[in-house]
């Protein structure tokens, strides 16, 4: 690995410039902004690295960029799942520089996607390049599947994977996110919660009405409030009938991992400006709730007049957006059906329920050989004990690869705790980026030997 590491160090500036080039190309899937251009740029960067590429265009939705290179010595295949789409940059006024500037400040690259997920994508491509340039081959066959819709729930990825199952076949997968904690320990994530996103919409009169007519005119805002109250109570209990019946408790091996995860409550609370966590949770109880408890969250509500001063109206319409974070063995289809039945049975047949993106929960057993290989590599590269998360509170289309491709998945990366993912001033520490590239290169080597 000495020659590979030397190449990475010698070309670090070029690696950074490539990442800046990608960050400067907007690719906001929620708005459809710059998607095709970014897909083509990702393909071009892959070709510059030395990969054989193609852009896979689904019947509907954004393209997936595919790349591969084959080993001369190994028949093992490692697949990298990444995505080129990013979150919207708003609120723009809170950025210290342009959200697509790729500006460098104090050793960090700033821009939407710098951490999630363009930084990890480039670090992986450059790890492959480092082998090709120094040894003229990679230790194992390598495949890249780069999604263009991850930030909106990957609604069209299933059809692509099913159609190209053989093309995407692999022995193991490295997922799109990860990094180190505040102590510098590398973190491994072995699974994701599922998610179901919905909108509840209530309509009243054909227009806003003077509130003097409130005794006669139904108020959608109150109607929505009562419906939300029927879904969850003040004890954080979700009231949908049968909601918890398929929840699978974590195994003893998973709980052992959870107990070893460092959890600095004070730091979390200070960062978020909180005096205490929800329901006064603390310690292992708080961490277990974060990883293993399903949840229902109101993401936003809109109704009536919200400007300066008062406006005495009965609003015409009210809406709320919710997400349900799901755990094994819950499914979005199951929970959506139960939500619909629950609202109907509770007297809210008039409420329109719109279903958005959804993914199922997924995880790889902590005892899997591939998990142990990646953990040993992480300890070797970072010279610190890795922290293993059996499940992540985030969501993504991991279940498609676990079910359809059928191989183990581990999520690791080069991000750092202050990367501001999904927030203004998203950034990636350059030192973390380069070390993360060496980590990926070493995973390729160690996987070949495992």
Cβ atoms of 53 and 67 closer than 8 Å:
yes
Please tell me whether residues 245 and 321 are part of one structural domain. yes
Q: Which residues form the domain of 239?
A: 194-359
* Number of structural domains the chain divides into: 2
Cβ atoms of 99 and 111 closer than 8 Å:
yes
DSSP helix/strand/coil, 332: helix
With a cut of 90, say whether residue 415 has pLDDT above it. Answer: yes
Please tell me whether residues 224 and 327 are part of one structural domain. yes
Kindly state the tokens that stand for 295: 């949840």
Please tell me whether residues 371 and 323 are part of one structural domain. no
Please tell me whether residues 220 and 334 are part of one structural domain. yes
Reported as type and span, the H/E element at residue 166 is none
Kindly state the tokens that stand for 125: 């491509």
CATH number of residue 210's parent domain:
3.30.70.360
| Domain end residue (candidates: 359, 390, 406) | 359
- Which of 197, 196, 33, 14 is CA-nearest to residue 113? 33
Going by the DSSP 8-state scheme, the letter that residue 385 receives in this structure is P
Please tell me whether residues 69 and 148 are part of one structural domain. yes
Mean pLDDT (whole number) for 100-108: 98
Confidence bin at 271 (pLDDT 50/70/90): confident
Cβ atoms of 371 and 410 closer than 8 Å:
yes
| Domain end residue (candidates: 359, 379, 395) | 359
Determine the Cα angle at 227 with ends 281 and 392, to 5°.
35
- Write the pLDDT tens digit of every residue in 384-402: 999 999 999 999 999 999 9
DSSP helix/strand/coil, 172: strand
Please tell me whether residues 182 and 241 are part of one structural domain. no
CA distance 173 to 191: 12
Please tell me whether residues 331 and 376 are part of one structural domain. no
Confidence bin at 21 (pLDDT 50/70/90): very high
CA distance 37 to 55: 12
Please tell me whether residues 32 and 72 are part of one structural domain. yes
Please tell me whether residues 341 and 207 are part of one structural domain. yes
* Helix ranges (DSSP H) in 248-368: 252-259, 265-272, 283-292, 332-345
* Cβ burial 202-235 (10 Å sphere, 16+ → b, else e): bbbbeebbebeeeeebebbbbbbbebbebbbeee
Residues 6 or more apart in contact with residue 263 via CB below 8 angstroms: 283, 284, 286, 287
CATH number of residue 419's parent domain:
3.40.630.10
| Domain end residue (candidates: 336, 359, 382) | 359
Please tell me whether residues 144 and 222 are part of one structural domain. no
Determine the Cα angle at 424 with ends 422 and 425, to 5°.
105
Kindly state the tokens that stand for 10: 């010698």
Q: Which of 137-141, 270-274, 382-386, 408-412 has the lowest mean pLDDT?
A: 270-274
Please tell me whether residues 311 and 443 are part of one structural domain. no
User: What pTM did the predictor assign?
Assistant: 0.92
Confidence bin at 357 (pLDDT 50/70/90): confident
With a cut of 90, say whether residue 153 has pLDDT above it. Answer: no
**What are phi and psi for residue 401, nearest 5 degrees?**
-75, -40
Q: What is the pLDDT of residue 315?
A: 98
Cβ atoms of 139 and 448 closer than 8 Å:
yes
- Write the pLDDT tens digit of every residue in 187-207: 999 999 999 999 999 999 999
Helix pair 332-345, 220-231: axis angle to 10 deg: 120
| C-alpha dihedral, 293 to 115 to 121 to 382, nearest 10° | -80
Kindly state the tokens that stand for 93: 């006024």
CA distance 6 to 364: 34
With a cut of 90, say whether residue 101 has pLDDT above it. Answer: yes
Please tell me whether residues 305 and 239 are part of one structural domain. yes
């Amino acid at each position: 690995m000495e020659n590979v590491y030397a190449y990475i160090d010698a070309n670090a500036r070029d690696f950074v410039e490539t990442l800046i080039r990608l960050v400067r190309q907007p690719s906001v899937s929620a708005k459809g902004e710059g998607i095709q251009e970014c897909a083509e740029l990702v393909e071009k960067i892959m070709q510059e690295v030395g990969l054989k590429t193609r852009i896979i265009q689904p019947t509907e939705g954004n393209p997936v960029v595919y790349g591969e290179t084959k080993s001369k010595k190994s028949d093992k295949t490692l697949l990298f799942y990444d995505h080129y789409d990013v979150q919207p940059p708003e609120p723009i006024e809170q950025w210290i520089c342009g959200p697509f500037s790729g500006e460098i400040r104090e050793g960090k690259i700033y821009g939407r996607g710098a951490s999630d997920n363009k930084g990890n994508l480039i670090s992986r491509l450059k790890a492959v390049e480092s082998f090709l340039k120094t040894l003229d081959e990679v230790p194992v066959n390598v495949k890249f599947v780069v999604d263009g819709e991850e930030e909106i729930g990957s609604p069209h990825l299933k059809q692509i994977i099913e159609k190209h199952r053989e093309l995407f076949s692999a022995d193991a997968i490295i997922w799109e996110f990860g990094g180190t904690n505040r102590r510098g320990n590398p973190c491994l994530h072995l699974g994701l919660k599922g998610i179901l996103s919905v909108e509840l919409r209530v309509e009243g009169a054909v227009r806003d009405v003077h509130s003097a007519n409130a005794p006669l005119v139904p108020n959608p805002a109150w109607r929505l409030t009562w419906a939300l109250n029927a879904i969850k109570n003040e004890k954080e209990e979700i009231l949908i009938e049968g909601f918890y019946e398929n929840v699978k408790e974590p195994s003893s091996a998973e709980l052992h991992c959870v107990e070893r995860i460092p959890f600095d409550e004070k730091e979390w609370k200070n960062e978020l400006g909180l005096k205490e966590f929800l329901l006064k949770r603390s310690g292992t109880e708080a961490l277990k709730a974060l990883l293993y408890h399903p949840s229902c969250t109101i993401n936003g509500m809109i109704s009536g007049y919200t400007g300066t001063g008062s406006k005495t109206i009965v609003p015409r319409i009210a809406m709320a957006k919710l997400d349900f974070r799901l755990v094994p063995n819950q499914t979005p289809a199951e929970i959506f059906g139960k939500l619909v039945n629950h609202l109907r049975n509770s007297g809210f047949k008039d409420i329109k329920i719109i279903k958005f993106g959804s993914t199922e929960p997924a995880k790889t057993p902590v005892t899997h050989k591939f998990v142990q290989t990646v953990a040993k590599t992480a300890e070797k590269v970072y010279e610190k004990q890795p922290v293993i998360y059996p499940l992540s509170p985030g969501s993504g289309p991991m279940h498609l690869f676990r079910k359809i491709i059928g191989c183990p998945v581990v999520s690791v990366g080069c991000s750092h705790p202050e990367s501001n993912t999904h927030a203004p001033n998203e950034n990636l520490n350059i030192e973390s980026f380069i070390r993360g590239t060496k980590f990926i290169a070493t995973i390729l080597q160690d996987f070949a030997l495992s």
